[in-house]
Amino acid sequence: MVDGIKTITVVGLGVIGGSYAMALTKAGYEVYGVDKDEDTLAKALAKGAVAASNVDCREFFAVSDLIVMALYPDMIAEYLADNVEYIKDGAIITDVAGLKSHFVETIESVLPEGVHFVFAHPMAGREKKGFDFADDKVFRGANFIITPTENTDAKAMQKVELLAKEIGFGQIKLTSPKAHDDIIAYTSQLPHALAVALINSDSEDSETGKFIGDSYRDLTRIANINEKLWSQLFINNKQNLIGKIDEFQVQLELIKKCVQECDFDGLEKLFVKAGIRRNNLQK
Amino acid sequence: MVDGIKTITVVGLGVIGGSYAMALTKAGYEVYGVDKDEDTLAKALAKGAVAASNVDCREFFAVSDLIVMALYPDMIAEYLADNVEYIKDGAIITDVAGLKSHFVETIESVLPEGVHFVFAHPMAGREKKGFDFADDKVFRGANFIITPTENTDAKAMQKVELLAKEIGFGQIKLTSPKAHDDIIAYTSQLPHALAVALINSDSEDSETGKFIGDSYRDLTRIANINEKLWSQLFINNKQNLIGKIDEFQVQLELIKKCVQECDFDGLEKLFVKAGIRRNNLQK
């Protein structure tokens, strides 16, 4: 267990918050769960994911060394502003949001002196939403990104890093909120856009399911998307995402042109390049 | 075991042919393997995938009730033309090619009376090529497509269906070569094009590997592509594939437009549609 952290509150027991609660409880922490949904609170308690749960965070915040804000990104600042007076002095707060630049300043502006926010993006998830799909094993070996700002406390950040390692994350990478949002537009948002566009371009009269292999299944798995969360992530990262879609479209046009012109050599070169890049990725 | 089939020759012990050989041997057939590569022949024999192996097919063809042509699609007709005189009367031939219309007539034109070709497309594969990655388990539950022509013998087709079920395939679907090539352009070739374009649109200076989650891994797995095979499949299915890329591009543009215009409602609608389609696919 990480030095100085005993009690943790997870706000938002959806698929990610729920997974955090489970993993942290397993790691030996006293974990409290907050959610607006009573059923979710009861489930989390029954499953042993949390030691106590409540729709109200105040009592939990007063005794927590760490708070995990597992809410939609646009709700974090407001929630903290409403409850900032209950947070214990010296507490660390972290989040799980898939987007940073757009929210970082507003969140930092509501924090009192002596409370340290460490912005983090656990690169793990599930296609399904809600506590029912929470699973502490999703973090195993996954990438964990921390986006420090000029206000980030070094010791608090170190503790969040240790905690991430403790619950199973693999590589931990530090980068700026701006750089994070740029690369995430490519590695996370663009794949989701492609999956959605792929499945939406199906002609519905065909018996598609009988003609698919693993490739189609793999590429469309994430088309089962949380529409509220992902429309926020896409639109709040507009410039970066549009740029990545543009770059993708250029590459798809290259393939199309080779096919159109029956250019076997050109197509093979594009395939070889892709194969090399995919192999390098695995290293 | 299927009535009337005891001895089977697999021509081409790559990843798919090798998997067939293993699965058929396990199912109790006497399986012979043919490949131009001596190392591959030795490996297949050592691994027990085949009872005998040879670079030359003649002795095997003379005694085989079934021949599996697991070569690149454009090599099948020529190979058969060169060896047609050795094929046993009444034998059944099947293939594994991912494309049909372009090859069906030529192949049928070289067949002698009394030899029955059943065109099939097992929707199972591996990202890697070669016998080393062969695995009889890849067929389990996978889709198996048969594309009968006006010359296809009903009894021979029934035997190939039974055999497919026996080695683990799930749904078997009959369709025309033309319809096959159209839907395969969408369910198989388009996903491969997207995976290649996605990985090729990466800016190489970034440490992409540290910022990826399962979505990027899933979407790029098939970017590790057999360049010779897939350039054939793409270009020989040009009209269909270009059509599917066009339809995909329309859908991607819809997403891009919603992002550009900060249209949350529009984007949510596209996501909901995709989620419903993905769920229906699983049923």
* A112 and A208 co-located in one domain: no
B186-220 pLDDT, tens digit per residue, is: 999 999 999 999 999 998 666 888 888 888 988 99
pLDDT higher than 60, residue A243:
yes
pLDDT higher than 80, residue A125:
no
- Residue A271: its chain B contacts at CB < 8 A? 196, 225-227, 230-231
pLDDT at residue A176, rounded to an integer: 96
What does the block give as tokens for B180? 């096959």
Domain end among A155, A175, A195: A175
| CATH classification of the domain holding B144 | 3.40.50.720
* A104 and A212 co-located in one domain: no
A70-92 pLDDT, tens digit per residue, is: 999 999 999 999 999 999 999 99
**Cβ separation A224–B279 shorter than 8 A:** yes
pLDDT at residue A206, rounded to an integer: 64
Q: Is B1 within the bounds of a domain?
A: no
- Min Cα distance B120 → chain A (Å) is 12
Place of tokens 């607006």: A36
Separation in Å, CA B98 to CA A216, A265, B163, B179 = 14, 20, 19, 13
Q: Is B81 within the bounds of a domain?
A: yes
CA distance A67 to A31: 10
B38-53 pLDDT, tens digit per residue, is: 999 999 999 999 999 9
| CATH classification of the domain holding A246 | 1.10.3660.10
Give the residue from A78, A87, A79, A84 showing the smallest Cα distance to A60: A87
Amino acid symbol at A32: Y
* A250 and A143 co-located in one domain: no
**Cβ separation A218–B219 shorter than 8 A:** yes
pLDDT higher than 60, residue B129:
yes
With 0-12 CB in 10 A as exposed, 13-18 as middle and 19+ as buried, what is A118? buried
* B134 and B203 co-located in one domain: no
Domain that residue A235 falls in: 179-282
**Cβ separation B267–A227 shorter than 8 A:** yes
pLDDT higher than 90, residue B184:
yes
Region for B91 from its dihedrals, namely left if φ exceeds 0, alpha if ψ lies in -120 to 50, beta otherwise: beta
* A138 and A272 co-located in one domain: no
pLDDT at residue B283, rounded to an integer: 55
**Residue pairs between chains A and B whose CB atoms are closer than 8 Å:** 298
Q: What is the mean pLDDT of chain B?
A: 94
pLDDT at residue A225, rounded to an integer: 87
* B276 and B184 co-located in one domain: yes
**Cβ separation A194–B252 shorter than 8 A:** yes
Separation in Å, CA B248 to CA A112, A249, A256, B193 = 49, 11, 12, 11
What does the block give as tokens for A67? 């708070």
Contacts of A161 (CB under 8 A, 6+ apart): A144, A146, A172
B123, B197, B262: residue with CB nearest A248: B197
Q: Is B59 within the bounds of a domain?
A: yes
pLDDT at residue A204, rounded to an integer: 65
* B17 and B44 co-located in one domain: yes
Q: What is the mean pLDDT of chain A?
A: 94
Who wins on pLDDT, B164 or A282? B164
pLDDT at residue A158, rounded to an integer: 97
**Could you tell me if A47 and A160 are in contact, meaning their C-beta atoms sit under 8 angstroms apart?**
no
- Residue A123: its chain B contacts at CB < 8 A? 211-213
A130-178 pLDDT, tens digit per residue, is: 888 889 898 999 999 999 999 999 999 999 999 999 999 999 999 999 9
pLDDT higher than 80, residue A260:
yes
Q: Is A2 within the bounds of a domain?
A: no
Give the residue from B26, B33, B38 showing the smallest Cα distance to B10: B33
Paired with B122 in beta bridges are: B144
pLDDT at residue A169, rounded to an integer: 95
**Cβ separation B225–A281 shorter than 8 A:** no
A1-58 pLDDT, tens digit per residue, is: 999 999 999 999 999 999 999 999 999 999 999 999 999 999 999 999 999 999 999 9
Place of tokens 């042993």: A48
Structural domains in chain B (count)? 2
pLDDT at residue A283, rounded to an integer: 55
What percentage of chain B reaches a pLDDT higher than 70? 98
* A18 and A138 co-located in one domain: yes
Residue of A nearest to B277 (CA): A199
What percentage of chain A reaches a pLDDT higher than 90? 83
Domain end among B175, B199, B227: B175
CB atoms within 10 A of CB B172: 16
pLDDT at residue A224, rounded to an integer: 87
**Cβ separation A222–B222 shorter than 8 A:** no
A143, A202, A255: residue with CB nearest B277: A202
B1-55 pLDDT, tens digit per residue, is: 999 999 999 999 999 999 999 999 999 999 999 999 999 999 999 999 999 999 9
Domain end among A126, A150, A175: A175
Residue of A nearest to B232 (CA): A264
Q: Give chain A's count of helices (H) and strands (E).
A: 12, 9
B209-268 pLDDT, tens digit per residue, is: 888 888 898 899 899 888 999 999 999 999 999 999 999 999 999 999 999 999 999 999
Q: Is B87 within the bounds of a domain?
A: yes
* A141 and A207 co-located in one domain: no
* A91 and A45 co-located in one domain: yes
* B228 and B131 co-located in one domain: no
Q: Is A45 within the bounds of a domain?
A: yes
Q: Is B2 within the bounds of a domain?
A: no
* A45 and A131 co-located in one domain: yes
What does the block give as tokens for A90? 């010296």
Query: Coil, strand, or helix at residue B33?
Result: strand
